[in-house]
């Protein structure tokens, strides 16, 4: 197998599959700016279909399945899929087939919706931050809770990623991915020496994403 890392737009799909029961589950579908391109032929019993919203355009592939260890003498049936698919603008649906049967499906939600369209960020005043960072509690002085503001409600096919960039650092660190709402905790012990961080929330439908908001958070002493 020959594999190489490429920098361009990909769709990263993480799933589990069980060949013994012909079942599967799609755990995450997220856009990425880097991906692993391989000439591996994949598993012949598992097929992944990436389609547009109508099914008129599609790509079919056999993903690589990495199987968990099994008991001595037994053939493993449960495995993990981590597939990087070169992005196309029409992509909207991912389906997994096991031994010819559809076992799992992911359908993209509204693409990169705005604060005031009534779809994903209900109750948030246009122009306001869609999230707030609470002060630490006496019981947990090192942790600050990030929660959505207003009446943000989960939407099928829409997830959120939370990233943190410590002061003096050029890189964003992902601390939460694939959440129904941008709710998480920021632990200042993860960023020793930093007195503040930039926090941003990304909203994605699995294929496209946008930054919902960004703000500076003081970590205190």
Q: What is the pLDDT of residue 147?
A: 86
On the 0-12 / 13-18 / 19+ scale of CB atoms within 10 A, 7 is exposed
What are the phi and psi torsion angles at 115 (to 5°)? Answer: -60, -35
Q: What is the pLDDT of residues 20-61, one digit of tens each?
A: 999 999 999 999 999 999 888 899 999 999 999 999 999 999
Closest C-alpha to 92, from 33, 49, 56, 51? 51
Q: What is the pLDDT of residues 91-101, one digit of tens each?
A: 999 999 999 99
Please check whether residue 11 is in contact with residue 36, taking contact to mean a CB–CB distance below 8 angstroms. Answer: no
Domain with CATH 2.60.40.10 in the chain: 131-218
Instruction: Tell me which DSSP letter residue 213 carries.
Output: E
Please check whether residue 24 is in contact with residue 61, taking contact to mean a CB–CB distance below 8 angstroms. Answer: no
For domain 131-218, say whether CATH 3.40.1350.10 is its number. Answer: no
Paired residues of 85 in beta bridges: 11
Q: What is the pLDDT of residue 114?
A: 46
CA distances from 9 to 5, 35, 84, 88 (A): 12, 8, 10, 9
Q: What is the pLDDT of residues 186-199, one digit of tens each?
A: 888 888 888 889 99
């Amino acid at each position: 197998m020959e594999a190489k890392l490429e920098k361009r737009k990909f769709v990263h799909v993480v799933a589990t599959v069980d060949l013994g029961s012909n079942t599967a589950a799609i755990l995450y579908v997220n856009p990425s700016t880097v991906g692993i391109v391989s000439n591996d032929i994949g598993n012949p019993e598992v097929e992944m279909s990436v389609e547009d919203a109508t099914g008129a355009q599609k790509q079919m592939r056999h993903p690589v399945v990495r199987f968990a260890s099994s008991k001595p003498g037994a053939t493993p049936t449960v495995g993990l899929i981590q597939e990087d698919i070169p992005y196309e603008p029409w992509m909207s649906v991912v389906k997994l087939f096991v031994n010819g049967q559809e076992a799992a499906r992911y359908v993209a939600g509204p693409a990169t919706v705005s604060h005031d369209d009534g779809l994903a960020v209900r109750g948030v005043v246009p122009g306001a931050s869609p999230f707030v960072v609470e002060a630490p509690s006496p019981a947990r002085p090192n942790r600050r809770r990030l929660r959505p503001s207003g009446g943000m409600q989960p939407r099928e096919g829409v997830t959120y990623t939370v990233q943190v960039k410590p002061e003096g650092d050029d890189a964003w660190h992902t601390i939460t991915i694939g959440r129904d709402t941008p709710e998480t905790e920021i632990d200042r012990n993860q960023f020793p020496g930093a007195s503040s961080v930039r926090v941003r929330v990304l909203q994605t439908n699995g294929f496209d994403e946008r930054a919902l908001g960004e703000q500076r958070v003081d970590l205190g002493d």
